Each structure stands twice: as structure tokens, then as C-alpha cells.
Structure 1
């Protein structure tokens, strides 16, 4: 066991439907459950098999003996919002994702983070969006605190499964592929612009700066991206036509973004396995796993930082040939050891979706229709 102990509680009461509409529903439903509060979280959770959070050296050679902290996502707004909405149902709606995230950072600074020599800000899914978007501000905050104590801290980002496709130029996403138009609504009402790269907003990208494909070229903190071109969280169907439609849109967007970010020190590993997060150390490019690729990239950025005299703007990946790529078309079978288990999970979820009201939210589908809470799903090594 390598448990991480529960510390502070976070509460939030906002949810948007899975697709087609984005708006706040009454707080009571989400605020009382796993997706709106950490109140009922277990006192300890075992992260021995949870990738970069693991304390097992065989799973996480780079950071197994680091201080490891998880800020769980229960805000429903990608950790980006900070706004008060009009009263609904007699209760005010508070969008506090960014405030929760930054309060966690300040709490950690008062608990020893200001003395750190290295900081890796990582995330999966919603966290994979938040880590790069908030990363520059977090890096500045931590470096400033370290400097006040006479120290220097190297900051890097690991983002796993955070690229979501923009289908807004089409009337709708292709059959079997999901879209997330609530991002535009969130930008308009959630006061998220302060969390987004300023240069991206100045370039006129507006709400699309919430999409990593638009934002990554403007992120200054060196970042490594793990991403499937057939991300299962963006698929309702595993039919070949759906896989191809998603891959044809996501792969070019990924490559454009990562190539534009090379001068910032960004790297990545792009696979065509059907998964969402998970699969740490299991997906390979020849003899190199996603874990190996990240660790190699990280050590080179750390070396550059030391060689430059702790200059946070000297990172460059010229000659390193990022990102790693899987060639050819995506296929759902035997891509990595956990592939078949994940496919069964996705098929069960699809069957549940077909039987239920499609207007209900994705988190309710995952939590209730499969008879599991998301905590159960995570604890049993399912992804999603």
C-alpha cells in the first residue's frame, strides 16, 4: 500500500449535461455526491498503481519517493472558474474551480512546497486540461515563494488525455463521436478567462483557449502530453467509422499544437489505443513506454534548467523528435495489456446510454447506471 491521506474537503455544485447543452442544474444533486464534494471520500486511498502518483518504484521510478498530493476534481468546471451565478432554487450557485485549485497550492506552500527543488503539476482528463492552463500561474506563484526563501524550483507539467476536439465548425459531431459545447457556455459565465493564456486570448481564440489544441503553443511552462487519437471519453461508439472520424480530427490538431510548442520545451507521446488516462507504462513505441518517454523528456528539461543557471525560459526540444507517434489507423484490440478490460467497460457504458434518457449528465451515467460510483471505478482500475 502507498496510501494518500485525505486532507481538506472541497465542495461544488455545478454540472452540465454530457453534450448538446451546458447550464447549471440545481445544486442539491451534485453537491451531495462524489462529483460535488469530497466530504465522503475515504480517509486513505491506495495509489500504488496510479502512475505518477504511485509510491512504488517499479511503477513510478522518477517520483516514487516525492511528496505526492492529489487535488480531486469535484468542481465540474475543469478547475478554471471563479464566479457567482444568480440564485436558483433559493440557493446561490458558486463556480469555484480555480479558487479551489489555487487555495490548494497556497496551502501546500505553507506546508513545505516553498522548499521544493522540483514540482511536477500533473492531471488526467479535466486535470489534464487544468494543469497546462493553470501551469504558468502556478509556476510563477511557487517560484516566487521559493525565491523568498533563497531557493529555486524547477516546474514541469504532465497532461494525460486532455485534448478534446472542437466540432463547432460543423453542425454536429460525426455519428458515434461526442462533442462538448458546454465549454463555450462556461467561458461566458464562469469567469475562466483569467485562467487562460493571455497570448491565446489576444490572438482572438476566445473560448477555444480552453482547448489544449489552441492553448498549448502559448503555455510557457515545459509540458509533456500523453494522448490517444481515439480517446474513449470522446466516443459513444467503437465502430470503425467513429474511430476514424475522431482520429482524423484529433491527430492533426495534436500535431499542429505540439509542433508549435517545441520552442517552449513541450513534448508528447501520441498513441492510437482506445483508452482515457490509465495505461501508465503499458503503451509502447518500440521499446519505449509512455512512462519512459516522459521520464526521458523530464530529465532533459531539468538538465537544461540547471545548465542555464535556473533560467525558466531556455527550454527547447530541437532534435528530440517529439512527439512519439503510433503510425497507421487506430484499432481497438490488443493495443496494451489493459485494453480488453477497458473495451468491456466502454461497451457496458454504451449499453447503459442506449437505455436511458440522453439528456442526463455523463457523471450520472457513469456513477448510477453502471451501479458504481466514480470512486469505485477508479479504485478498481477502470478509466473514465
Structure 2
């Protein structure tokens, strides 16, 4: 029996090294591809390891179409947190699983992912802690940390171009959470690598982080992002049109300020009650030291009327920030539901399943597909919680590493 197990492990290891895939229990497991040439660009993860991605090749009518998905996983904005992160899978490809499950928008199953199942699908691993946007280095003689997200992005793109990306007919840049933010930050740059004939579009899933005050009227997330931008040398990589038109250029890290300067069509997939934003932007731990919001955070039905009013107010603030996009962007797509969720494109149950979240009888997958292929106008805004009975509520997401 031990011999059989060892043979199976050897086969998986060989497939992983080759960047190929295996199926297990109806799951698509895709092997890791390490970007060996990244060192020439100085593109390293926080700990100095080489960046990586997972690719599953397209076929049939999708052979020349490409979907790139940024992995999410929070940020680090000081030396202590980044040093800690560098010793985890969020800061080192050495510590990552070498096989990744492709589901939801990454699935190769037509009934589960009808519009993108046969595209070339790539998951870009996240190991820089700065939404793939930094370009600096910390070295005090004892500790070395690489903030090289921008170079990681460039190294991976340059690795993919000769593999067929350079001649893509259609391309979609996507991502979840911190990866969703990266899809906004890099949308214009992604387009610049591709021919003018390529239909380039971008999707941000749970990446529309708000520059909003918390319940004590402090701008906790703004300060967090400002420290992040400074530490990782991000400001020089932010969109110049945005930074030149705003009093505080670092705020162009927020999608609400950047959005109008993104040239390719954009789809915004977000919950109006995003559980990460509730836990870290609206009610961060510093704003609720006695834990008065703990029950509400873990169960929305336990929220007091005054707490629910603040949650509804946060929803209104998000919709207000999107007002211009909603009414003026003819090429933009929107799916903002009222679920207590965070990231809905990578999980099969929220992307496309019999009981997936819906608005106007459409799932998220159908709405994104309608938008990408221009089959229908796809701007959907949910009514306030608790009217939507199709939600998959994911409660209590409190970690930036989720």
C-alpha cells in the first residue's frame, strides 16, 4: 500500500513540475509553473523566491482566448507584518500548494462555466503583499524583503506572451479581493501588451475597496493603504492620469478614484455588504475595542437597528461612489448584490450552480458572460438586505489573509 501511495505522489509531483493538470473527485487540479526567468527582472516574492502561476490550456473555440485571474489574500503594510507574511504561503512560492483547484470562472466544465470553460485560464499566485503593484526592497543587513509585485506581474506576462497570449483574440483580466484590486490597477497595462485587435476587458471581484470612514469617523483603510503605498514603492506605478488629477496621489490605489481612467471595459462584481469591508473598513477592531459589533458581524440577523442602519449607509456610500460609472459607462458591467459575502467568482456555488445567487433571474456567471460578449446590458443592483433570498452568506471573514 505504501508503494502505491508513493507512486501516486510521484506522478502528482511530476505533473506539478510540468505545469499540467490532474482531476480528482471531479475537481480540476492544475500544477504550478515557476517563472525561472523572473530573476532577470528582479521579480521576487517577499522572501526572495521566484513567482509562479498555474495554467490550464484552452481548446476548441476558446484556444486563442485568455483569462488571467489574480489570486487574492490581503496586504502587509509594515516591516513586521511583511516579515511575518514572508514566512507563509502569502509571501513565498516555496510554501504554496503546488496544485491548485480550478473552479468557478476557472472551471473547464462547460455546464459549470459556460462562457470561459475552454479558454486558456491562468491563476497568478500572490506573494508580494501589495496587489502586484510595488517596486522596492527592504534590507537592514539582517532581514531582506522584496516588494516587487509590479515586476512579478511583468515577469508573468512576459512568460505567457510567447505561449499564445501575444496573439489572443479575446482576453479577460480578473481577480478576487486584493487580486480584484490588482485587476483594476493593471487593466490599462494589460491592454498595452496585447494587439489592438484583442478584445480586452477586466473584472474586479470583491476588489472595490471603499475610501470610507469607519464607525468612529476615522479613515482606517485610507491610512492602511497610504502606509502600504509608501512602504512598497507603489505610488510611481499608479495611473498617472489619476495621480495628476487628485490632491493625494496615494488615494489612486482605491478603485473609486482610478475607475474613470481605466480604458478597457470593466465589470464590477461586489457585495454591497462585503464581509471584509465590514470587518476592516466600516468596523475595524480599533473602532470597536469592546466588541459591540461581534454578534452582528457573525450573524446579520443579530444586528441591532442602529447597526443595520450603518450597514445600509455603507451600501449607499458604495453606490454613490459608483454613480458616474453606473449612468455614464456604456461598456461597463455591474453585479452588486446584497449578500454578506467576499469573492464570488472562484467558488462554483456562487459563480454558476442551481442555487447560485441571482438578480433578475441571472447568475453571476450569466451576467459576466452577457457583459463580455455584449449579449445584453448587464448592470444589476440588488435591493437592500435582507430582500435577496438567493444569497450564499459567508459570515465572519476577519482576516486579511482570507
TM-score normalised by L of structure 1: 0.72
Could you report, residue by residue, the CA deviation over 1:43-81 in whole angstroms, capped at 9, with x for unpaired residues? 32221xx32111111221111011111002221111111
Partner of 1:106: 158
Q: Where is the strand percentage greater, Structure 1 or Structure 2?
A: 2
Question: Of 41, 46, 52, which aligns to 1:12?
Answer: 46
Give the Cα–Cα distance (whole angstroms) in 1 for the partners of residues 334 and 221 of structure 2.
24
Quote the residue 1:297 is aligned against: 371
Q: What is the rounded CA distance, in whole Å, between the counterparts of 2:193 and 2:271 in structure 1? A: 31
User: Structure 1 residues 251, 194: closer, same or farther in 2, change over 3 A?
Assistant: farther
- Between the aligned partners of 2:370 and 2:176, the Cα distance in structure 1 is 20
Q: Are 1:33 and 2:88 an aligned pair?
A: yes
Q: Distance in 2 between the 1:168 and 1:88 partners? A: 35
- Return the alpha-carbon distance in structure 2 between the equivalents of residues 77 and 109 of structure 1: 24
Assess if the C-alpha contact under 8 Å between 1:6 and 1:41 holds in 2.
Answer: no
Q: Indicate how the Cα distance of structure 1 residues 24 and 153 shifts in structure 2: closer, same or farther if over 3 A, else same.
A: same
In structure 2, how many angstroms separate the alpha carbons of the residues matched to 1:131 and 1:270? 17
Offset at residue 266 of structure 1 (A): 1.6
In the alignment, the residues of structure 2 paired with residue 258 and residue 280 of structure 1 have an alpha-carbon distance, to the nearest angstrom, of 25
Check the 8 A contact 1:82/1:192 in 2, yes or no.
yes
Distance across 1 between alignment mates of 2:114 and 2:85: 37
Residues 264, 200 of structure 1: alpha-carbon distance in 2 compared, 3 angstrom cutoff: farther
Are 2:117 and 1:64 equivalent residues in the alignment? Answer: yes
C-alpha distance in structure 1 between counterparts of 2:114 and 2:107, whole Å:
9
Q: Which runs of 5+ in 2 are unaligned?
A: 1-26, 36-43, 49-73, 280-296, 345-349
Q: Residues 198 and 180 (structure 1 numbering): CA distance in 2 closer, same or farther, change over 3 Å?
A: closer
- Distance in 1, matches of 2:153 and 2:264, equals 17
Contact 1:122 1:128 in 2 (8 A): yes
Q: Would the alpha carbon gap of residues 97 and 42 (structure 1) be closer, same or farther in structure 2, given more than 3 Å must change?
A: same
- Structure 1: gaps (5+ residues): 304-316, 351-361, 367-383
The aligned runs of 1:1-384 (5 Å cut-off) are 1-8=27-34, 11-13=45-47, 22-25=77-80, 28-47=83-102, 50-85=103-138, 87-88=139-140, 90-143=142-195, 152-167=197-212, 172=217, 179=221, 181-204=223-246, 205-236=248-279, 237=297, 238=300, 239-240=303-304, 241-257=306-322, 259-260=324-325, 262-263=328-329, 265-278=331-344, 279-281=350-352, 282-300=356-374, 320=377, 323-327=379-383, 329-331=384-386, 334-336=389-391, 338-339=392-393, 342-343=394-395, 346=396, 362-363=399-400, 384=402
**TM-score normalised by length of structure 2:** 0.69
Further displaced range: 197-206 or 75-84: 197-206
For the aligned residue pairs, the C-alpha RMSD in angstroms reads: 3.0
> Displacement of 1:199 after TM fit?
1.8
Alpha-carbon distance between aligned partners in 1 of 2:130 and 2:249, rounded to the nearest angstrom:
17
Q: Tell me: CA distance 1:222–1:228, structure 2 relative to 1, closer, same or farther (3 Å).
A: same
The answer to whether the Cα contact below 8 Å between 1:13 and 1:27 also exists between their aligned partners in 2 is no
CA drift at 1:41: 2.6
| 3-state secondary structure, aligned to 1:79 | coil
